[in-house]
């Protein structure tokens, strides 16, 4: 169906994940309750207490491969552009959200002496070669980066600077981030278990995602609003009130009430403080109503700055099909989430019109998007 004139249509979608390189493949895996969790493949397990991750298994045997995040980015953009019938990106802005950029390539180059040109560490170089894209922007706003990129994309459309924008995200697991998580988390998780009483922390995932945004035209969904905030209350401890303000701003911008929202794609990292803060904010935001809540990091791991856009792709598919994927690994909810309708065990069918997508990053970098299905 067509979005109304002036509405931000989500005209094309593309993902690259451990489950495959299509949104339907990813969505069916999520609905089946599958996860990409596996023993660490890319790193020397003897060096880490963490022994599992949610990796894309595309490395050849032997030394690691550089520029994987760039390759995934280009594939996701190509898929989204094809889905939207977009053939020429030479004048189309491309905005990339990422947490770690090509840090893994730098690690590989320093360790193995692999030769990589400095220019290749910038996503714009590959996008220019592959698609002729000349207007590229990279946003590195931690775990909220790709939803921040969506907000910037909406601004470009609203200002009239562009009729079409490609928004993308990409991240690969790096040894330095894995080592950081290994040392700062109070527990050694064997899986990501959002909102569960026995959760022990986060594990990393990998992937890329992209959407094509347009002013009006045929689309399975429209982006009603993106609200961006930075409460800066603490480097690593999320502030429930900052999250709540961003949720409420997104609803105000979209001219929607909490009762009109059917589904929340939670940030849901499985960490002690994030889950408590997000659940507290959601409980306040949706007091008196109960949208379905799910968290795909239980299946994909934490894909860093890409996670918000990956969840947005899943949200559109949920609205299109009327199906909510479950959150694997949740057995007993934390007290802060006791009033939330967290979907566990198996997928849930039902009419869905509006979905909220959460993405929160270090330093109180909060982003919330509201999406409406057009079917």
Among 31, 52, 302, 344, which one carries the catalytic annotation?
Answer: 302
Q: Which residues contact 255 (CB under 8 A, 6 or more apart)?
A: none
* 143 is known as an active-site residue: yes
Q: What are phi and psi of 262, to 5 degrees?
A: -95, -25
Q: Which of 15, 171, 26, 134 is nearest to 80 (CA)?
A: 15
Catalytic residue among 74, 143, 150, 344: 143
Joined together, the tokens standing for residue 300 give 């994909």
Q: Which of 77, 82, 179 is nearest to 136 (CA)?
A: 77
Candidate list 31, 74, 150, 267, residue with the active-site label:
267
Find all residues with CB under 8 Å of 72, minimum gap 6, and list them.
16, 56, 170, 172, 206, 207, 208
The per-residue b/e assignment along 32-65, b for 16 or more CB within 10 angstroms, e otherwise, is ebebbbeebebbeeeebebebbbbbeeeeeeebb
Instruction: Give the burial class of 114: count Cβ atoms within 10 A of its Cβ; 0-12 exposed, 13-18 middle, 19 or more buried.
Output: middle
For residue 375, the tally of other CB atoms under 10 A from its CB is 11
CA distances from 56 to 21, 28, 296, 344, 373 (A): 11, 17, 16, 25, 30
Q: Is 302 a catalytic residue?
A: yes
Residue the block writes with tokens 């994987």? 68
Task: Please give the Cα distance from 219 to 197 (Å, whole number).
Answer: 39
Q: How far apart are CA 25 and CA 171, in angstroms?
A: 19
Q: Is 267 annotated as catalytic?
A: yes
Helix then strand then coil, in percent of the chain rounded to 5, is 35, 25, 40
Q: Give yes or no for a contact between 104 and 68, defined as CB atoms under 8 angstroms apart.
A: yes
Question: What residue ranges in 65-114 does DSSP mark as E strands?
Answer: 94-97
CA pair distance 357, 318, nearest whole angstrom = 12
Q: Which residues are catalytic?
A: 143, 267, 302
């Amino acid at each position: 169906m067509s979005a109304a004139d002036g509405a931000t249509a989500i005209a094309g979608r593309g993902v690259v994940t451990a489950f495959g390189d299509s949104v339907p493949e990813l969505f069916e895996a999520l609905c089946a309750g599958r996860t990409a969790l596996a023993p660490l493949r890319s790193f020397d397990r003897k060096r880490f207490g963490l022994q599992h991750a949610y990796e894309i298994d595309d490395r050849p045997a032997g030394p690691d491969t550089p520029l994987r995040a760039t390759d995934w980015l280009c594939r996701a953009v190509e898929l989204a552009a094809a889905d939207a019938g977009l053939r020429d990106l030479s004048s189309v802005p491309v905005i990339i959200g990422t947490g770690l950029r090509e840090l893994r390539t730098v690690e590989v180059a320093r360790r193995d002496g692999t030769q990589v040109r400095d220019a290749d560490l910038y996503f714009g170089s590959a996008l220019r070669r592959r698609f002729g894209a000349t207007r590229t922007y990279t946003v590195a706003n931690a775990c909220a980066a790709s939803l921040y990129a969506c907000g910037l994309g909406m601004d470009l459309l609203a200002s009239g600077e562009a009729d079409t924008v490609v928004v993308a995200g990409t991240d690969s697991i790096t040894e330095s981030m894995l080592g950081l998580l290994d040392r700062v988390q109070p527990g050694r998780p064997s899986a990501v278990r959002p909102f569960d009483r026995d959760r022990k922390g986060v594990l990393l995932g990998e992937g890329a995602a992209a959407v094509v945004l347009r002013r009006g035209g045929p689309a399975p969904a429209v982006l009603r609003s993106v609200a961006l905030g930075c409460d800066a209350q603490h480097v690593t401890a999320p502030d429930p009130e900052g999250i709540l303000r961003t949720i409420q701003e997104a609803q105000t911008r979209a001219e929607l009430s909490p009762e009109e929202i059917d589904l929340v794609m939670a940030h849901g990292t499985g960490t002690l403080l994030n889950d408590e803060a997000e659940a507290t904010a959601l409980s306040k935001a949706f007091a008196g109503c109960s949208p379905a809540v799910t968290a795909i990091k239980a299946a994909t791991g934490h894909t860093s700055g890409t996670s918000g856009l990956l969840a947005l792709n899943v949200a559109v598919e949920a609205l299109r099909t009327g199906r909510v994927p479950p959150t694997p690994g949740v057995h007993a909810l934390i007290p802060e989430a006791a009033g939330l309708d967290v979907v566990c065990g198996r997928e849930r069918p039902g009419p869905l019109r509006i979905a909220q997508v959460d993405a929160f990053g270090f330093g109180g970098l909060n982003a919330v998007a509201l999406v409406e299905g057009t079917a």
